[in-house]
Amino acid sequence: MKLENVFMLLPNRTVGFGSIEVEGDTIAKIDLRTAPDATHQSRLVLPGLVNCHCHAPMTLLRGVGGGLPLQRWLEEAIFPIEAKMTDADVAAGMTWGAMEMLAGGTTCVADMYEHTRAGADALAATGMRGNVCRVGLSFVPGRLDECIDFAKTSPGGRLAADICVHSEYLTDEKFCRSLAEANKELKRPLHVHVSETKKEHEECISRHGKTPIAYLADTGILDCGGYAAHCVWCTDDDFRIMAEKGVSLIHNPTSNMKLGSGFAHVPRAMELGVNVALGTDGTASNDNLDMFEEMHLASLIHKGLANDPTVLSPWDIIEMATKNGAKALGRGDIGEIAVGKKADFCVVDLNRIHLTPCFDIPNLVVHSMHASDVVETIVGGEVLYDNGAFPRIDAAAAKETFLASLRNL
């Protein structure tokens, strides 16, 4: 495979123009030459976007419970429908979610959901990369052993298995310590929800005398690093613990605003050495899986909060969606366009009204692009999305199966 006459985002925060050669699943050669001027109509190749916190099968619940605060949203709108879901439903929702992500340039996702094996098998079949986990819940009999066993197995395809506790409030200390002990051998990163709401954060302090991050750190479950979604109410001390333990902050701007949870202190976390990446969360609290939208909002939110347009440069934001996301998931072989890295790309058509002219491509990526501008998505040198087509997926059959599941819920 060879991509010719393309702009490309390079690891040293520069924009190049030229060609990219792929051998097998790896970038073998990059040839650069003088770029044309801003009126030139071409394509832009970005590293594949990495969605670091998602519940992809929730495509089946898109928009359900809109307008409710988090706890009521979960208990009144989400949990009753999820209780009816089968393996087949989750597989259908996962496939539909993967199609949405691939069409929008996302090549790797960290997903957390029930019916884990069915979802993982469906995700593997799409060709996407993914970090998947059995959701840690201490009130479900046998769940600890399931979490450990799942992390020991290879899910297949381009997937990796991580450990998980859903959150501090849905697990107890014994569960966390036992999983941490098992993880001394497994050495897998932890996927967890942390300090999403003020109520959750303060109730943890009431229960344990510690914030959720401090509590989790004390159980040992952060010792192999991980990635923590939301972190809206985390303190400076929390950020210092996260930096020390190698725990990434996964920023979910759309979900946090829709549910009225607040704004994560991302610039401060970065200042204190925390790796920050982006995630969409599920489609019931977003309501899409558009990583370009997350980039756009992440940029605007923090400039507005700080009254400072220099906060979080376009390159900072792009790296959150690519390189930092790869780091969060322990995937050092993706996230950048560089020789020796895996050939995971998304290709954007710059021949669009809202993308012309191209005076500042990084700014264009963050503030002008949409998921619908993606024309091709490539994972490991394999084209998984091409101008509306999914070479690996029977889109018509996937839609029929998805709609059948919707009718059953």
Element (H, E) at 117: helix 116-126
Q: What is the pLDDT of residue 70?
A: 82
Q: In what order do the strands lie in the sheet with 226-230?
A: 49-54, 106-112, 129-133, 158-164, 190-194, 226-230, 247-251, 276-278
Count the helix, strand and coil residues of the chain and give each as a percent rounded to the nearest 5.
Answer: 40, 20, 35
Whole-number Å distance between alpha carbons of 370 and 252: 17
Q: What is the pLDDT of residue 291?
A: 98
Whole-number Å distance between alpha carbons of 320 and 369: 16
**In this predicted model, what pLDDT tens digit does every residue of 89-114 receive, in sequence order?**
999 999 999 999 999 999 999 999 99
Beta bridge partners of 385: 377
**27 pLDDT band (50/70/90 cuts)?**
very high
Contact between 341 and 26 under an 8 Å Cβ cutoff? The reply is yes
Residues in the chain: 409
**In this predicted model, what pLDDT tens digit does every residue of 167-215 receive, in sequence order?**
999 999 999 999 999 999 999 999 999 999 999 999 999 999 999 999 9
Q: What is the pTM of this model?
A: 0.97
* For residue 41, pLDDT beyond 80: no
**CB atoms inside a 10 Å sphere around CB 274:** 25
**38 pLDDT band (50/70/90 cuts)?**
low
* For residue 271, pLDDT beyond 80: yes
Distances in Å between the Cα of 40 and the Cα atoms of 120, 349, 352 are 42, 12, 12
Q: What is the pLDDT of residue 381?
A: 98
Which residues 6+ apart lie within 8 Å of 291 measured at CB?
49, 51, 101, 104, 105, 106, 278, 280, 321, 371
Whole-number Å distance between alpha carbons of 340 and 216: 36
How far, in whole angstroms, is CA 288 from its chain's centroid? 12
Structural domains in the chain plus CATH codes = 2-47+341-386 (2.30.40.10), 49-328 (3.20.20.140)
Contact between 174 and 201 under an 8 Å Cβ cutoff? The reply is no
**In this predicted model, what pLDDT tens digit does every residue of 336-360 receive, in sequence order?**
999 999 999 999 999 999 999 989 9
Q: How many Cα neighbours within 13 Å face the side chain of 155?
A: 28
Share of the chain above pLDDT 70, in %: 100
Residue 261 — φ and ψ, nearest 5°?
-80, -30
